[in-house]
Amino acid sequence: MSLSYPVIKYDPSATLIPETGLAQADLDWIAPRLEAARAETLDDLALWQAGGAVPETKIPLDAGFMELPERLLNEYEQKKEASELGRIIAVAEGLAEKTDRIAVLGIGGSYMGARALFEACCHPYHNELPREARGGRPRLYFEGNNVDNDGLHGLIDLFRQTDDPCGIVVISKSGGTLETALSFRLFLDELRKKVGDDQLGDWVVPVTGDPSRLRSLAEAIGCKKDAIFPIPDGVGGRFSILCAVGLLPAAILGLDIVKLLEGAALMNERFRNEPLGSNPVLDYVAVSHLLEVRRGIDTRVLSTWGKGMEAVGLWYDQLLAESLGKDGQGALPLTAVNTRDLHSRGQQHQEGRRDKVITNLILQSQKYDSIALEKSDFDQDQLNELAGKTLPEIMDAAIAGTNRAYADDARPTADLFLPKLDEPSLGQLFQMLLLATVVEGRLIGINPYGQPGVEAYKRHMNEFLRK
Ligand code: PA5
């Protein structure tokens, strides 16, 4: 597969600070350890692909996410409409044509990736626009991620304002997660009132494991078998953005899911082949991990410079927290959106405890024409001296100014440059962060897969509920 997209770049040079940051010797020290973690990560994939016995210490081994981009793309190339990607696109098109409002129900890894893609790639006011201005695509709403009465009430109420039936995409790997199952029942009841029982299955697209309660329910309401999408074995919830879990909602929105996967495949290629120093996965792990063990810097702020990236940051918060927050270990992830959060978190990042590394997520180009500040007859705000400057230029000054302020106080920062907020760049970014999380897990001896700690609240909640 030969792929040529502008690549994302990671520049951690501003973490090389005597006294409070890293030294070149630290990077030299970690190099062989990282090579070993890269080799182990790739061996895990081979072990998983071989399908043989998995050593006790490696269970669960959900290494399947690594091969998803190439596997789906190759199959699409060979079988087109008959491939899984082909079916995702066809079913997405069908549902998008049928309805103007779709509820995507899911929680955690079954929701955050789709939301990240929606917020990053669609018009910031997508749901408010008339259908033509949305490229003929439906409005998308996210639910099934809480048991909040008023939140659910709000969306049900909105759907009741129209006689048109609203589609449902319901995503749950286990098929039994209470938040999602409960809201599915509520939205299904609403849908039945509009379309009756006979056609119910045509308005619902489930993405789930096999077997699962959700799959049984989907079959019972008449969803066609080839329109129930699997979450492949060996792909864990928060690692599933590049299968139907993220791809189906993305295709409903008209996003180019082939380019998204190609971006991810490009990152796989770089991860396998590039050396430390030009390998964004290894470099990111090296710097984040070293700052933690050498300097006690265990809060990782992903500082996103643009509103469209907030949900990408929240997706990463979950990935890092659920994967490495085990056994008394794991750094604290925190998403900031700047310049907004310079006026909320900024004070603490500048002068608070020295426990933070700031990774700036910076866009190198914008989707829309640059807005320039015009001269005005009313200059009481004294902005005329900035006339002619564009918003991207002002953003660049904010980034440079903030980095300078941190550097002046010897606070480490790194820059992660994204060519554009589009599918190829996001595919690279998602795959980079997925791989980095696994490599770091192997480096510190934590199994990044599974989330045993999440079961405790469910057990107690069920005890309370069923008393
Ligand atoms: O990463 C994970 O596995 C979790 O965050 C799950 O995605 C989340 O708990 C939802 O689970 P399910 O898809 O089974 O409803």
Q: Whose CA is nearest to atom 12 of ligand 1?
A: 172
Distance CA 133, CA 462 (A): 45
Q: Decide: residue 33, CB within 10 A, 0-12 exposed, 13-18 middle, 19+ buried.
A: middle
Residue 464 has pLDDT above 70, yes or no: yes
Range 266-274 average pLDDT = 98
Q: pLDDT tens, 95-149?
A: 999 999 999 999 999 999 999 999 999 999 999 999 999 999 999 999 999 999 9
At residue 455 the predicted structure's pLDDT band, cuts being 50, 70 and 90, is confident
pLDDT value at residue 360: 98
Angle between helices 423-444 and 112-121 (to 10 degrees): 140
At residue 1 the predicted structure's pLDDT band, cuts being 50, 70 and 90, is low
CA quadruple 251, 253, 258, 261: dihedral sign: negative
Distance CA 11, CA 250 (A): 30
Q: Which range, of 74-88, 357-371, 444-458, averages the lowest pLDDT?
A: 444-458
Distance CA 211, CA 74 (A): 27
Bridge-based pairing of strands 9-11 and 413-418 is antiparallel
Provide the mean pLDDT of the chain: 97
Range 389-397 average pLDDT = 98
Range 337-359 average pLDDT = 98
pLDDT value at residue 199: 93
Q: Which of 16, 246, 212 is nearest to 120 (CA)?
A: 246
Q: Decide: residue 254, CB within 10 A, 0-12 exposed, 13-18 middle, 19+ buried.
A: middle
Q: pLDDT tens, 198-240?
A: 999 999 999 999 999 999 999 999 999 999 999 998 999 999 9
Q: What is the phi/psi pair of residue 167, to 5°? A: -75, 160
Whether the CB of 431 sits within 6 Å of ligand 1: no
97 noted as active-site residue: no
Q: Which of 388, 386, 337, 391 is nearest to 368 (CA)?
A: 391
Range 239-261 average pLDDT = 98
**Ligand 1 centre and the CA of 5: distance in Å?**
32
Query: At a CB cut-off of 8 Å and minimum separation 6, what does 222 contact?
Result: 198, 199, 200, 201, 202
At residue 426 the predicted structure's pLDDT band, cuts being 50, 70 and 90, is very high
Whether the CB of 173 sits within 6 Å of ligand 1: yes
Whether the CB of 215 sits within 6 Å of ligand 1: no
Q: Whose CA is nearest to atom 9 of ligand 1?
A: 108
Q: Which of 445, 411, 436 is nearest to 15 (CA)?
A: 411
Whether the CB of 110 sits within 6 Å of ligand 1: yes
CA quadruple 420, 356, 33, 58: dihedral sign: negative
**Ligand 1 centre and the CA of 110: distance in Å?**
6
Beta bridge mates, 336:
303
Range 402-420 average pLDDT = 98
Range 336-342 average pLDDT = 98
322 noted as active-site residue: yes
Distance CA 83, CA 102 (A): 24
pLDDT value at residue 3: 76
What tokens appear for 157 in the block? Answer: 């109420």
Residue 331 has pLDDT above 80, yes or no: yes
Angle at 20 between CA 17 and CA 21, to 5 degrees: 50
Angle at 70 between CA 69 and CA 76, to 5 degrees: 95
Beta strand ranges found along 110-166 (DSSP E): 139-143
Residue 49 has pLDDT above 70, yes or no: yes
At residue 167 the predicted structure's pLDDT band, cuts being 50, 70 and 90, is very high
Residue 4 has pLDDT above 90, yes or no: no
Distance CA 302, CA 316 (A): 9
What tokens appear for 92 in the block? Answer: 């997405």
126 noted as active-site residue: no
Cβ density class 79-102: b for 16+ within 10 Å, e for less: eeeebbbebbbebbeebbeebbbb
Distance CA 179, CA 10 (A): 37
Residue 2 has pLDDT above 70, yes or no: no
Pocket test for ligand 1, best of 107, 169, 243, 437 (most atoms within 8 A of CB): 107
Range 436-443 average pLDDT = 98
Kindly give the residue spans of alpha helices, DSSP state H, lying in 196-279: 213-220, 244-252, 257-273
Q: What percent of the chain has pLDDT over 70?
A: 100
Range 257-268 average pLDDT = 98
Residue 242 has pLDDT above 90, yes or no: yes
Residue 351 has pLDDT above 80, yes or no: yes
Query: At a CB cut-off of 8 Å and minimum separation 6, what does 202 contact?
Result: 98, 195, 222
Instruction: Name the DSSP letter for residue 133.
Output: G
